[in-house]
Amino acid sequence: MATATQGELRRRKLSHSKIGDIPRKVSEENTKKSEEVVWGKTPSGEVFRVPTTHDVLTLFHPGYHKSHLDILSLTLLGLQIAVYCVLPNAVAKPFFLLYFAFWRLAYDVGLGCVLTKQSKKKWIVREMHRLGWLDEKRNPKVRNWIRQQLAGKMGKDYSFDELPLEYNSWLLFRQLVDIILLNDFVSYCLFAFCCFRVPDGLSAPVHFFRWVGGITLVAFNLWVKTEAHHVVKDYGWYWGDVFFQRGALVFDGVFELAPHPMYSVGYAGYYGLSLVSGSYPVLFVSIAAHAAQFGFLVFFENPHIERTYGQKKLLASRIPLIDASEARKKLTESAMPTHHRNDSVASDTTDISTPAATEGDSATEIEELETETETETDVLDNALLKTPKIGQPISLASASMIPRKRSATKMRVLSQHDLFNRYFRKDLVLFHNLDMLRAPDFMLCLAIAYAITFAFLPPLSTRNIFALHFIHALLWRLYHTFVLGSLLKAQSNSKFLVRHFLKHYHYSDSSLESGRGAVQEAFTNWKALYNLSMFMTYVSFVGLAWKTYEFPQEWIAGNHLLRHTFGGFLILLHAWAARESFEVLGVFGWFFGDFFIEDYPATLEYTGIFRFLNNPEILSGATFFGLALITGSKSVLTLAVISNLSYWWSLKTVENPHMQKLYGNALRKDAGLTKIIKKVAVKNARLLESRAGKHVPELRRVAKEVKGSFDKVFEETADVVEEFLNKSKPRLSEVVQDTKVLLQQSRERLVITRIASDVSSFNTTLYNVCVASNGSNRGGKHRFHLGEPIVLNWRAPSTHSRKDWIGLYRIGANKSSLHTSTSSLGMWVPVHHDEWDGDVPIGLQDKKFISADPETGKVVFKGEALPWQTGIYEARYHHDGKYNVMSLDGPIEIYVDPPASLDFQSIRWYLIHIVTLCLDADPSLVPLSSKPPGSPAPSGDDLMAGRDPDDFRFWSEKQAARIARSIKAAFGVDYDAEVILADANVSALTNRILVSKQLLDA
C-alpha cells in the first residue's frame, strides 16, 4: 500500500513521472499558495484531477456528513460494544473469537481476492460497468444513491459526473474497506478484553514491565499506522493504485524503519494487547491473524506492486563492466605507437554508460581493463567453409579446427553476464540445483543422511545393531556395483555422463574447451564417486565384520587359529593383487578412463599380474571371504557371496562388453593360469586313458556326455538370456514410449470439460476454420516450421458467441470431433481478442445488430500459443468459451528442417532462423546478424558499442527453453535453458553444437 505522498507528488515534475506528461491547470490563487493540482490517470489513458479525500477518523467526527454506509459501519461497531456489555464472559469469548475470525477472513481473503481480480482484470470496474450502477440510463436510482453517498463525504472540489468510473468505483470500494477494517479492529480488542486476566505466580515488577511493554507496543503500533498514513495518504491506504495511477512508489518516513511496516511492525499492537491481557489465547489468535496478514502481503500486495511498478528486465543482456569508449581507447594506446594513432577512433565512437544497479545492488568498480580481443569475420570466409563436418573422425585434440568466431575485427568488452557465468554454474544452494551425479552434491546428501540417522536413531538391541550394519554394508555394495555399474554401462553405450554435463552445465564459448570441459567434469566427478563408493563399501563391510566378531577365549582349541590364519592370508592376497593391478593399470585403468577419454592411447598390456589372470579384480572378493572366515559369521559370509556375485555381474554386463567393443579380437581368451590348468588337464586325461585300458571308450563317452550336457545347458541358458534381452529391449522401449504418451495424455486431460447446453440452436455448418497457406504444404498437410506463426481464417454466423475460441491439439488426443476432452496446454487464442483478458472473457460488448451475412476474421498463433514440439496437430473452433467443437481443420505438421551439411556456416544460419522464431522476431532481442546471406554487415555503431552481432537476449527463461527444444528437435542435442541463457550468442551455440555432435556421435 506504500506509495508516494501527496506532497511529494506535488513537488515532482510530472513530465518525469510514470504516468506521463500531464498538463497542469493551476489557478493563480493556488500558485500563490504554492499548491499544485494532483493528477491521476486511468488505465485507458484518461487524465483527471484528483479531489481531496478525508481519512477514516472523520467517520467519528460529528461535523462530517455520514453516508448510509457510514451509518451501517457505526451501527455494527455500536452493536459489538453492546454485545460485549451484555453477554457473560464465558459466552463473549467464543463469540468475539468467531466474530473476529469472520472480519479477519473478510479482510485477508475477501479483500485479497477482490483486489487481486481488480489488479489483474479490473474486475470491480467491469462489474460496475456490467451492472450499470453508475449508468444514468440503465440504473438511475442506484446511480443517484451512490452519488449522494459519495458527494456528501467529499469536498467542494469533487464532481461526481466529471470523474471517471475508476475513481468513483474506488470511492465506493473504500467505504466497504472502512466497514471491514473497523470491525476487524474493534472485534479483536473486545476479544482481548474478554480474555483479560492477571497471571498467577508473577512478581509485581514482572507485572509492571508486562504492562509497560504492552502499552508501549500498542502506542508504537498506533504511531506506525499514523505515520504510514501520513506517507501514503488515502491513495495508498485504500489501494488506489489498483484503480488508477497517481505516481511512483516512494519509500520514506516509517517505510525506512522496516520492510513492509504496515504488515510487520504495524501489527505490534497485537502482541502488546497479548501482554496486557496476559492471555495465551489472545497471543495465539494474534499470531494467526498476523500470519494471515502476511499471506495477504505475499499473495496480493507484492504481486500487485510488481505488476504495477515493476519493470521487465532483459536476460542475458551483455552490459559492459566498463565504458566501451574508454576500453577502446586503452586498447588502441597499447596496440599502436602514439604518433601513428588515429585520433578519430575515440571521437567517432559512442560511449555506453553502465546503468546503475537496482534493488540494493551497488555498481561494480573495475580498476583494471578486462577485455577479450578476438579477430572475427563479418562474412564467412573460405576458412569457414572448410570447417570439418560432423561424421569425420575428429578428436578433441583437433577440435581447434572449428572456427571460434565470426565477425569483423573488434574488441569484446567483458560484460557482467559473462563474468557471472564464468564463476557460477548451477551451484548448489541448500538443495536447489542438486545433482547427484556431482560428487560434492552426493557427498553433501550423504553427510546429511548420516547426521540425521545418528541424531534420530533410537536405542537398539544387539540384534538390531547387527541388522543395521548388514543393511548399511549391503546398500553400499548395491550402490557400488549396480548403480555405478549401470552409470558406467550407460557411459559406454551412449556417453550418458558426458551428455548429462553437456546438457546441464555451461562451458567456455571455445569449442575445444567446451568439449574437453564436459568430458573432464564428467570424469572428475566419476572418479570421486567411484573412490568414495569403493572406500565406503570396504569400510561398511569391515564395520559389519567388527560388530559380529568375538575375540576367542582359547586360540588353540577348535579352529579359531586356523580360521584367522587363512582369513589373514586371503586379506593379504587381495592387498597384493590390488597393488599389482594398480601398477599395471595405473590411474587411467583404475578409474576406467577408457570409458571417457577417447584420445588416450588404448593398448593392451598383459604384464605383471595380468600375465596370469585376465581379471585379477576377482581376487578382491578374497578380503570378504577372509573376514567371513575370521568372524565365523553367516551374515558376513552372505554379504561376501553377494559381493562376489555382484562382481561377476559387473564383469559380464559392463566391463567385458566394453572391452570387446574397444579392443575386439585383440583380447586374449585364456590367461596364463588358465592355459596351465588346461595343459595339466589334457596331460592327466591322456594319462588316464593309457591306464584305463578297455574302459577308455566308456569313460570318453561319459565325459563327452557330461561335457555336452554342460555345454548344452550353458548354450541354452545363454540363448534364453539373449532372447530375453532381445525381446525385452524393444518392449522396454515401448514401455518407455507408452509412459511418455501416458504422461503427455495425463497432462492434457487435466481439464474439466464444460459443454454448452444451447449448442443445438447453432448451425455448425455455418462455422468454418481453415489454416492459411504459407506455401509449405505437402501431402495434404499444412506445414509450419517450429516457432513459425500459424494464421487461421474463421467464419461464423453473426449470432455466434463473442467468447468463441480456437485451440490447437495433437491429432489423436481427442477421440470425439463434437467436443474437446483435453487441455489445450495454452495453445489457444480467442476469436475476439479485445473481449478477453487472459483466459477470462470480459463479456462487455453486446451485438448491436444481427446480420444475415456471416462474420469472418483471422487469428494468429504465436509465442506461447504455438506448439513447441514437432508433431501433427489440428485446429478446433470452440463455442462460447466452452469445449463444443463447431469446426476443425488439419492436419497441421510442425517440423524442423536442419541443414543437410552440418558445418559451422550451415548450422549458424539455421540457428539464426531458429533464434529469431523463438524470440518472436522481437527487434530488441534478436541478434543483429539475423539477416539472410548476402545482407549488409551490421552497422558500425552497434559493433563499436560493444555488442556482438550474434548476441541475443530474452525477456523470460521460457524463450530460452524454446531454443533448447528447437535445438534438440533439429540436432538431437539436449541443453538446459540455463545453458542457452549463458551462451546467448549464435556462434557460441554453433560451436557448442559442433563439439557436442563430435563428442556424442563419435
Q: Over the stretch 482-501, which tens digit does the pLDDT of each residue have?
A: 999 999 999 999 899 999 99
Q: Which phi and psi (to 5°) does residue 163 adopt?
A: -90, 150
Name 411's bridge partners. Answer: 373
Please tell me the distance from the alpha carbon of residue 77 to that of residue 188, in angstroms, as a whole number: 12
Q: How confident is the model at residue 36 (pLDDT cuts 50, 70, 90)?
A: low
In whole angstroms, how large is the CA radius of gyration of the chain?
40
Task: Judge whether 20 and 245 are in contact, CB under 8 Å.
Answer: no
CA dist 97 → 188, 263, 941 (Å): 8, 21, 69
What does DSSP say about strands 828-830 and 836-837: parallel, antiparallel, or unpaired? unpaired
Name 913's bridge partners. Answer: none
Instruction: State the DSSP H helix or E strand holding residue 856, giving kind and residue range, or none if neither.
Output: strand 855-861
Encode pLDDT of 85-142 as tens digits. Answer: 999 999 999 999 999 999 999 999 999 999 999 998 889 998 898 888 888 888 889 9
pLDDT, average across residues 961-965: 94
Please tell me the distance from the alpha carbon of residue 295 to that of residue 285, in angstroms, as a whole number: 15
pLDDT of residue 882: 87
Mean pLDDT, all residues of the chain: 78
pLDDT of residue 402: 42
Q: Which cell goes with 101?
A: 475470525
pLDDT of residue 382: 37
Of 185, 216, 175, 223, which Cα lies nearest the Cα of 53? 175
Encode pLDDT of 793-830 as tens digits. Answer: 999 988 888 888 999 999 988 888 888 888 888 899 99
**pLDDT(323) > 80:** no
pLDDT of residue 102: 97
* Residue corresponding to grid cell 494464421: 791
* Residue corresponding to grid cell 552497422: 939
pLDDT of residue 401: 38
CA dist 34 → 10, 29, 30, 31, 37 (Å): 10, 9, 6, 5, 10
**pLDDT(784) > 90:** yes
Q: How confident is the model at residue 731 (pLDDT cuts 50, 70, 90)?
A: low
Please tell me the distance from the alpha carbon of residue 802 to that of residue 758, in angstroms, as a whole number: 14
Encode pLDDT of 734-745 as tens digits. Answer: 666 656 555 555
Of 996, 1002, 903, which Cα lies nearest the Cα of 517? 996
DSSP per residue over 719-737, as a string?
HHHHHHHHHHHHHHHHHHH
Of 963, 958, 967, 966, which Cα lies nearest the Cα of 993? 967
Residues 6+ apart with CB under 8 A from 637: 625, 628
Encode pLDDT of 670-690 as tens digits. Answer: 555 555 565 555 556 656 656
The amino acid occupying position 866 is: L
The amino acid occupying position 302 is: N
Q: Which cell goes with 18?
A: 510514470
Of 900, 967, 914, which Cα lies nearest the Cα of 502? 967
Please tell me the distance from the alpha carbon of residue 130 to that of residue 846, in angstroms, as a whole number: 11
Q: Which cell goes with 356?
A: 546503475
What does DSSP say about strands 885-895 and 782-785: parallel, antiparallel, or unpaired? parallel
* Residue corresponding to grid cell 466497504: 176
Please tell me the distance from the alpha carbon of residue 890 to that of residue 809, in angstroms, as a whole number: 10
Task: Judge whether 560 and 648 are in contact, CB under 8 Å.
Answer: no
Q: Which cell goes with 811?
A: 491429432
**By CB neighbour count within 10 A (0-12 exposed, 13-18 middle, 19+ buried), where does 528 fall?**
middle
Q: How confident is the model at residue 61 (pLDDT cuts 50, 70, 90)?
A: confident
Q: Of the ranges 207-221, 293-307, 652-666, 815-829, which one carries the lowest mean pLDDT score?
A: 652-666
DSSP state of 758: S
pLDDT of residue 366: 34
Report residue 469 CA to chain centroid gap.
Answer: 39
Encode pLDDT of 407-422 as tens digits. Answer: 433 456 778 888 888 8
Cis peptide before 891 (omega within 30 of 0): yes
Task: Judge whether 973 and 390 are in contact, CB under 8 Å.
Answer: no
Task: Judge whether 800 and 768 are in contact, CB under 8 Å.
Answer: no
Roughly what angle, to the nearest 10 degrees, separates helices 280-296 and 89-105?
Answer: 10
**pLDDT(1002) > 50:** yes
Q: How confident is the model at residue 618 (pLDDT cuts 50, 70, 90)?
A: confident
**pLDDT(29) > 50:** no
Q: What is the CATH number of domain 749-895?
A: 2.60.40.2840
**pLDDT(695) > 70:** no
pLDDT, average across residues 823-838: 78
Neighbours of 200 (CB within 10 A): 6
pLDDT, average across residues 252-276: 89
Q: How far apart, in Å, do the first and last CA atoms of the chain sit?
A: 61
* Residue corresponding to grid cell 484528483: 50
Q: Of the ranges 168-172, 407-411, 476-480, 740-744, which one carries the lowest mean pLDDT score?
A: 407-411
Q: Of the ranges 747-751, 819-823, 829-833, which one carries the lowest mean pLDDT score?
A: 747-751
* Residue corresponding to grid cell 486431460: 749
Please tell me the distance from the alpha carbon of residue 54 to that of residue 59, in angstroms, as a whole number: 9
Residues 6+ apart with CB under 8 A from 245: 18, 19, 40, 41, 42, 43, 308
Please tell me the distance from the alpha carbon of residue 552 to that of residue 487, in angstroms, as a whole number: 43
Instruction: State the DSSP H helix or E strand holding residue 891, giving kind and residue range, or none if neither.
Output: strand 885-895
pLDDT of residue 388: 37
Instruction: State the DSSP H helix or E strand holding residue 794, giving kind and residue range, or none if neither.
Output: strand 790-796
Q: Which of the two residues, 660 and 195, has the higher pLDDT score? A: 195
pLDDT, average across residues 725-735: 60
Residues 6+ apart with CB under 8 A from 93: 191, 194, 195, 281
Q: Which cell goes with 220?
A: 508504537
Q: Which of the two residues, 223 and 601, has the higher pLDDT score? A: 223
Annotate 538-587 with three-state secondary structure. Answer: HHHHHHHHHHHCCCCCCCCCCCHHHHHHHHHHHHHHHHHHHHHHHHHHHH
Encode pLDDT of 44-56 as tens digits. Answer: 888 999 898 888 8
Name 895's bridge partners. Answer: 785
Buried/exposed 108-122: b ≥16 CB within 10 Å, e otherwise: beebbebbbbbbeeb
* Residue corresponding to grid cell 485479497: 112
* Residue corresponding to grid cell 491513495: 235
Task: Judge whether 558 and 570 are in contact, CB under 8 Å.
Answer: no
Region of residue 723 (phi > 0: left; psi between -120 and 50: alpha; otherwise: beta): alpha
